Structure 1
Amino acid sequence: MMLRLLLILAVTSLIQAAPNERFVEETSPSNVYRVVEGPLTWNDAKAKCEAMDCKLAQPKSVQANDALKALLVKGYYWLGITDLNHEGRFTYYTDDQDIVYDNWNAGVPNNGNGTEHCANVILHSTFNYSTWFTSNCSEVNEGGICECRTSGASGDPHMRTFDGRAYTFQGICWYTLFKDCTDKSRFDVTIMFEPREDSTPDQVRTRTIAFNVTVGNQYAIVNGLDVTTGSTGGKMTDAKVITIQQEDKNIKLHFTSKNTTFSFNWTLRLHALDVSYNGSFYKGKLCGLMGNADGDTRNDFQNPDRSIAKDVLEFGESWKVNDKKCF
């Protein structure tokens, strides 16, 4: 406990208070980490994460744990790891599976007289801290780290912008998912929704069935698991910029523009398209259903004329591609 106290004092004295929300992506583009500020008990942090359709973070690799440092917060934050179900055996709280990676501090876990059942991480980017400890679940920490799905469309469809704003939009046909909204647009990504079989006239529920990526004069159309690539001019004039990998009912696609790589993970079984990017050039320079990627969720619902939509329906329909035929 003395070591923990010394670490808290060092962190508290050498870094300023952090904003309430920050995001960082893992090296593998499967999750986004989000901070919820406290003070919070473990159950408080768990509830806050789940209210955002996320879960308490469960870093499963060195890269994932290192990514937490980029959150630029100080002190102790709860993780989604406990031994509440098995004394001395720490598991992920969502599925009770044994943890596959850990970064425990020396001598931890040590049972804490049988009272320390929840894991937390001490974070300090300057001093390279992302070390795990255990605490009584009822103790108050600075906050929690939430693990959220990457941006994109999933389900019927549930959407999440690049800045992490979740919403539901039941559009039909083609829409602009996101595009380069600089003066010289370099790429455009559209997505197609169709009504689900269980839709009714009174309640339309849609799903994602296809998406189209155009970069320069090259394009890729993914319709279910059918992939079509080509050139808008009929002749490929540039080096191949869109890379596609297919395995079973999953397609991975990525392209790079202005030193920024956009990655797509399409899972037909779930009709889910997860999208992430790595790079800073397009911060605040994107537009479409996934917002502008400027780090502020409050201005995500921008129409094509940059005005803020009054509701989700206005925002979604403003990005409909009217000159593109449905399948």
Structure 2
Amino acid sequence: MAAFGSVFMPEMALTTFDGNGWSATEIVDADAISLHPGAHVLHYASTCFEGLKAFRHDDGSINIFRMDANIARMIQSSRLLSLPEPSAQQLEEMIISIVKRFAADVPEPPGSMYIRPTHIGTEPAIGKAANPSLTSMLYVLLSPVGDYFSGGIRPLRLLLEQNGSRCAAHMGMIKSGGNYASALQPILTARKAVNADQVLFCPDGDVQETGAANFLLIDGNEIITKALDSTFLHGITRNSILTLARDMGMTVSERNLSVDELLERASKPHSEAALSGTAAVLTPVGTLIEDGKEYQVGSGEQGPTTEKLRAALNAVQWGKTPDTHDWLTRV
């Protein structure tokens, strides 16, 4: 089976900004783009992207999950990177049109169609290290994906890193490729050194996020996660999980969480921890590694609350339960 996100639909939606305005949307071959080797994105990382999914329901309809939130975040990322601001209406039309075009290829649950809007600075100007790109390209790529847990759910091992951050603090809330690149070396080092799956960045003892997902601690009926600020990504899956947790009567505490408190709470028999993100929704964490010592989270396996929350979100995405928060856009 192909690796998650490595198969693409043959066409994508595309528009360009010429310094004055956005072009009409085109449907082009997915491998059709051409960039000057001096393009701003290739030298100064003027790029942001989004990740969202379309799901097939039992009635055959195709439904995109939380498209409005992803569009809003992409506009915010573009603004913070000083890229030309996309039109929310045009981006929505691009997403819907390309998903409709390949509606027949949307897999049945637990599979989905992964949607990847991408915005890059295209101006050929290597002298603009301290200036934004005046031109850009925005495209929407599709990738049909299967069950993220096809090999079975395995609780993750996280290395706690207190001496470094995932990215520069003022860049954290931007969904930019450079943030993922800056986290890659620490992740690879942690895999080799302690067989960790991911690094949980906790600069100066402040528990933030991993290289590619938000972190949640579950202590009985309470979910604890860092309050939103500019230092980490404002995950849409995170927001969805917290909303469903409140619907279930759980206490949601968005606040600072220290490494000491995390390790103390995680050691309780009923505690759970999880990572939230578009691809895996909610992935259990079984082990925390700090200063050469391993700490088991609760039972060390997936806990019932993690399973319940993931199932609740999947039920909305798959059309198995009412969409009370208007998260789905039917195409």
Structure having the higher strand fraction is: 1
Which has a greater percent of helix?
2
Higher RCO, 1 or 2 (CA under 8 Å, sep at least 6)? 2
TM-score w.r.t. the length of structure 2 is 0.25
In our comparison, the structure showing a higher alpha carbon Rg is: 1
Scaled by the length of structure 1, the TM-score of the pair is 0.25
